[in-house]
Structure 1
């Protein structure tokens, strides 16, 4: 999957897109957009945790069934697992490395990564719930 946001250099607009996507996904906690704009890694972690573990029971189960587990991991292991899921399950190549993710900076690349993950999770959840609806209707 290619990034839906291909333009860098417009961090404010990309943050607005991020706001819209996390709201659409139902993220209720406070988001520190000032830290996100600076590229502080810990500002992104709650969003990524939410998308992969809390957003959808079906998605979480799907990832677990495919051998990916996100609980009881430190931040480094969590991001390593996130990048593996993006590459192996969703055929998505992050535009930053894990080392860059944990470096202050690279804010726009981190915003784009988070936006893309949100879109991927939303789309996969739709696919899974549609499939479950069909299976339930057949049974």
Structure 2
């Protein structure tokens, strides 16, 4: 309860409290300062009956009647409600509240009523939300560990019976391994659900779907990595072959140029004809013939290597 002696501060506090409960009615400051009851009665009626529907319903269920009452009966009912529900005793009697004056005490009284109503409203809303959550929460029946073990054992026994007339024994075993793995995962999932009650909202099928999706993604990633490795190996082999051919070609060219062939013509007529040709022309002719021979021999050697290694140059 606020203390008296500061009318302006208490008036501002009343304005703030009314704003917090979304009061849109008339706020006559002059009438409030004069302590007129016809201004405070609508404020009190709004706090009790119009501010919160759950709160008004709660008061009506408790047996408090507010309709078709005179002002004095209405104030008496409100005083009895405050005493029974909130153990709050007003500082003004009914007669003083319905008379002019005592503005500051009336302001403090309305502020206290607003605070009590807000607190009760929050309690009712919280309790209602909790009850709705309990009703809408799905309660799933989790099987016991013995039932899970018995069901899993029967499934494993039925899955391990081979069909000898159709397929060989080792093929049946290989085919049944994923089912066994999935059954083990199913058993572990059910045990976790049974141990942890907070995970009861997650269905078993959802967990198995997530597990299968993760497993499939891992298999796809493994296949992609394998394909990339094969492609890289092929490219490296091709590059090695090409580098080898280029090195041999360079080596062949170096050998040809380091030891140029010496052509000896035994015919005397050829020597006489060559002697008549100028020296620089004979040098050029020898260079051109040497180059042609080297290039022809090198191309033949490279083609043979390419056919041998099956590389397209």
Answer yes or no: same fold by TM over 0.5. Answer: yes
Q: Give per-residue Cα distances to partners, 1:68-127, cap 9 Å, x unaligned.
A: 121221211111111111111110010110011011111111001000000111111011
Residue 68 (structure 1) aligned with residue 64 (structure 2) = yes
Residue 90 (structure 1) aligned with residue 89 (structure 2) = no
Residue 81 (structure 1) aligned with residue 92 (structure 2) = no
C-alpha distance in 2 between matches for 1:29 and 1:103: 22
Greater per-residue helix proportion: 2
Residue 135 (structure 1) aligned with residue 166 (structure 2) = no
Q: Give the greater-gyration-radius structure (CA).
A: 2
List runs of 5+ in structure 1 lacking aligned partners: none
RMSD: 0.8
Q: Give per-residue Cα distances to partners, 1:51-79, cap 9 Å, x unaligned.
A: 11110000001111111121221211111
C-alpha distance in 1 between matches for 2:55 and 2:75: 17
- SS of 2:60's equivalent? helix
List runs of 5+ in structure 2 lacking aligned partners: 136-313
Match of 1:125 in 2: 121
C-alpha distance in 2 between matches for 1:41 and 1:30: 14
Normalising by structure 1, what TM-score?
0.94
Structure 1 residue 33: deviation in Å?
A: 1.6
C-alpha distance in 1 between matches for 2:73 and 2:27: 22
Aligned residue pairs total 135
Q: From 8, 13, 19, give the equivalent of 1:12.
A: 8
- SS of 1:89's equivalent? helix
C-alpha distance in 1 between matches for 2:66 and 2:131: 27
C-alpha distance in 1 between matches for 2:18 and 2:61: 25
List structure 1 runs of 4+ shifted beyond 4 angstroms. Answer: none
C-alpha distance in 1 between matches for 2:25 and 2:104: 21
